[in-house]
Amino acid sequence: MALQQFLEFEKTVVELEKKIEELQQAAMEDKVDNSREVDRLKRNAVRLKMEIFSNLTPWQITQIARHPLRPYTLDYIPRIFNDFIELHGDRNFRDDPAIVGGLATFDGESVIVIGHQKGRTTKEKVFRNFGMPNPEGYRKALRLMSMAERFKRPIITLIDTPGAFPGIGAEERGQAEAIAKNLMVMSRFKVPIIVVVIGEGGSGGALAIGVGDKVLMLEYATYSVISPEGCAAILWKDGSKSDIAAKALKITAADLYNMGIIDEILKEPLGGAHQDTDGMANTMKESIARTLKELKNLSMDELIGLRYKKYRKMGRFYESVT
């Protein structure tokens, strides 16, 4: 794995792992037994990694959420769902590759799955618009979710976007209206909706497919009204203060769980989801299955009533009067 694909705070671990690789290579070439030294260094590497990842700052967690190797929606879908058939287009303007979705089966049950999709290579990033949907992407998502309600299929969405695309064309085609309509209609769908934040949860661009009965969030994902860089630029006119902004914004899974914004934190493999995509997918699958079973025990009136209460209570706070 290339050095540049590790984050700055991981460099000490990277250097140690590189030394282990060199010793293992030397043992193969020179036919010497250095297994004791290799084992010792491996234990040190694990200990060091555990120490680093148990004391991450919100800004470091933001960097992990954006890691270039972090699994995206199309990495998880074949690991969690079967028989996925992607559907395209909003039946109004065009398809939007920044949002993917379609029919699938989950534990033998038909579902609709929708998620943001980023790219890895430069060509893919441009094609996917860096995971920033246009209004047609949200209208495509709404079309698929409406289909789910019509055929009584649960909806599962995967969130990973820096935000909705703010381009002139997107605004001309009604970006705000598309997001607002999704929020309104999702609140009333008469089917279970499970949301999983797998990477970046960027403002309205995330919320437009994020109104769910249960919101699950990966341990090193983020969810916020604005990026730390954007917040720092507005408050202090200084993007270098992103670390301060990240802490103030309360964007981590732990912060959001404590505030009642999300319902469950999904533990990630040591070092992040990209270290074991299969393992992370299994964790997600188990949680989705358990959550779906709980939601299916509710009547439609109970489901919609609890969804309404869930979002109405957000933002309430109390101040003591002295």
Tell me: pLDDT of 280 over 70.
Answer: yes
Q: How far is CA 75 from CA 18, 97, 120, 176, in A?
A: 27, 15, 12, 29
Mean pLDDT on 201-230? 95
In this structure, what token pair is assigned to residue 269? 């493999």
pLDDT score recorded for residue 317:
66
- Mean pLDDT for 213-222 is 97
**Mean pLDDT of the 260-267 span:** 95
Looking at the DSSP assignment, which residues form a beta bridge with residue 249? Answer: none
Contact predicate 295/194, CB 8 Å: yes
* Of residues 119, 76, 122, 126, the one with CA closest to residue 101: 76
Average pLDDT over residues 158-176: 95
Q: Is the pLDDT of residue 5 over 80?
A: no
Quick one: pLDDT at residue 322? 64
pLDDT at 35 over 80: no
pLDDT, the chain, mean: 91
Confidence of residue 43 (pLDDT cuts 50, 70, 90): confident
Q: Quick one: pLDDT at residue 2?
A: 39
* pLDDT at site 9: 80
Looking at domain 62-312, its CATH class is alpha beta
Q: Phi and psi at residue 132, in whole multiples of 5°?
A: -105, 105
Residue 164 tokens read as 């909705």
Residue 4 CA to residue 202 CA, distance in Å, equals 25
Total-model pTM: 0.89
**Lowest-confidence range among 19-33, 67-81, 108-122?**
19-33
Residue 302: the pLDDT is 95
What is the reported pLDDT for 3? 38
Side-chain-side CA neighbours of residue 282 (13 Å): 5
Percent of the chain with pLDDT over 70: 94
pLDDT of residue 193: 97
Instruction: Give which of 42, 38, 41, 53 is closest to 6, Cα–Cα.
Output: 53
